[in-house]
Amino acid sequence: MGWLEIFVLLLATTNGMKAAIVSLAMTKNADAALKRAIAFRTVTISTVVCLLFALAGAAILSGLKISVEALLLAGGAILFVFALNMVIAEEKETSADEPPPVPSLDIAAFPLAVPLMASPQGLVAIVAIEATLHQGVTMAAIYEVGILVGIILIIMALNLGILLGAERIFAKISPAFLKVVMRIVGLLLCALAVQLMITGFDGLGLIPNP
């Protein structure tokens, strides 16, 4: 796999569009400063997680005796619970005298950074790519790891731009239509979560091949 293919793969699995849509809905009652803080913290956490997996993901999983299939199953289960809440959750009505709830910075870590931006499939892709690189402390290994780190940083910079510009990107979307979009995104995320778990079960040999 060439570096262009790796860039496209990581861009597809760790892009910030899903996080931007969810962030737009969850921060509609927040001020501009809090929205910027959430965006920066989301990208910072995602970058740290992705770089950790890029530099030592295989070693961490091996040391903890965690298989890639287990990572897929756990990530899929977490994503499914969150996505299901997006689909079926009802908004709580507030009285006229009660101010609308304002989100906190906590949403940057979950669900925006993990599992939406630093997604399970993205982390698995990073670990798989790391396994194909030269191993050891050699110039070739350092060079390849440096390119992988650079690709991740470029993608995360693009993600930051998407999060910061989410309101302008979706400026024409009405609140009612945004709710519909959120339900659709939640449904697609549910399907993605199920697919991750199917892949994990298939990797464990628990799904018979036709």
Residue 96's pLDDT band, with cuts at 50, 70 and 90, is very low
What local confidence, expressed as pLDDT, does residue 48 receive?
97
Rounded average pLDDT over 107-130: 89
Q: Please report, rounded to a whole number, the percentage of residues in the chain having pLDDT higher than 70.
A: 91
Domain ranges of the chain: 3-88+103-203
User: Is the pLDDT at 138 greater than 60, yes or no?
Assistant: yes
Cα(200)–Cα(67) distance, integer angstroms:
9
User: Is the pLDDT at 164 greater than 50, yes or no?
Assistant: yes
Max Cα separation, the chain? 65
Rounded average pLDDT over 125-136: 81
Nearest to 166 by CA among 4, 15, 10: 15
The contacts of residue 206 (CB under 8 Å, 6+ apart) are none
196 in Cβ contact with 120 (< 8 Å)? yes
What local confidence, expressed as pLDDT, does residue 205 receive?
87
Rounded average pLDDT over 2-10: 89
